């Protein structure tokens, strides 16, 4: 692109690549939560169904936040392809364990970008990522609390456990 018409890039090119990878990660998470929502929907697990449909939307919103951030700062956001989404699950508890694992991986990835932004003196990205750090802390906390409910209600019927779980 002609530099005369291109907006000035206020984020580091190295960081832009990491952010584009993060968009792909968020979209993969969205697709994964959608698969989980479908699994719950088919089994009439209403609270978990609502939880995962909502989570799928939220992950897409996270991806879009990063997408627009890159373009608003003179970079080039890339629409990712999402492949190898697992639709095969064993148990409701397993869905929430996978969710927590996914969120921990996202948190690590955000921390890595944050550290790299600091190293590159990319202050714009560093400030932008603070919202994500808080969001990740809330998401991990939510899934840990849900897994605590499973521990407390061990042996109870699945639908009864589902009724005790939050919908968002």
Q: How far is the CB of 84 from ligand FEO (least distance, A)?
A: 18
Q: How far is CA 88 from CA 14, 85, 91, 94, 98, in A?
A: 36, 9, 10, 11, 12
Q: Which is nearer to ligand FEO, 49 or 60 (CB)?
A: 60
Q: d(Cα 51, Cα 36) in Å, to the nearest integer? A: 10
Contacts of 32 (CB under 8 A, 6+ apart): 85, 86, 98, 102
Q: Which is nearer to ligand FEO, 84 or 121 (CB)?
A: 84
Q: How far is the CB of 108 from ligand FEO (least distance, A)?
A: 11
Q: How far is the CB of 136 from ligand FEO (least distance, A)?
A: 6
Residues forming contacts to ligand FEO in the complex (CB under 6 A) are 26, 29, 59, 62, 103, 106, 139
Q: Which is nearer to ligand FEO, 26 or 162 (CB)?
A: 26
């Amino acid at each position: 692109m002609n530099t005369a018409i291109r907006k000035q890039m206020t984020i580091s090119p190295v960081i832009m690549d990491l952010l584009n990878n993060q968009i792909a990660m968020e979209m993969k998470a969205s697709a994964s939560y959608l698969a989980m929502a479908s699994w719950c929907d088919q089994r009439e697990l209403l609270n978990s169904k609502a939880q995962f449909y909502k989570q799928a939307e939220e992950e897409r919103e996270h991806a879009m936040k990063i997408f627009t951030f890159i373009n608003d700062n003179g970079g080039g956001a890339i629409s990712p392809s999402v492949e190898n989404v697992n639709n095969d699950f064993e148990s409701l508890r397993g869905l929430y364990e996978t969710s927590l694992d996914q969120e921990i991986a996202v948190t690590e990835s955000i921390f890595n970008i944050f550290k790299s932004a600091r190293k590159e003196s990319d202050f714009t990205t560093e400030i932008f990522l603070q919202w994500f750090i808080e969001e990740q802390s809330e998401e991990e906390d939510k899934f840990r609390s849900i897994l605590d409910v499973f521990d407390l209600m061990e042996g109870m019927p699945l639908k009864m456990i589902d009724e005790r779980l939050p919908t968002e």
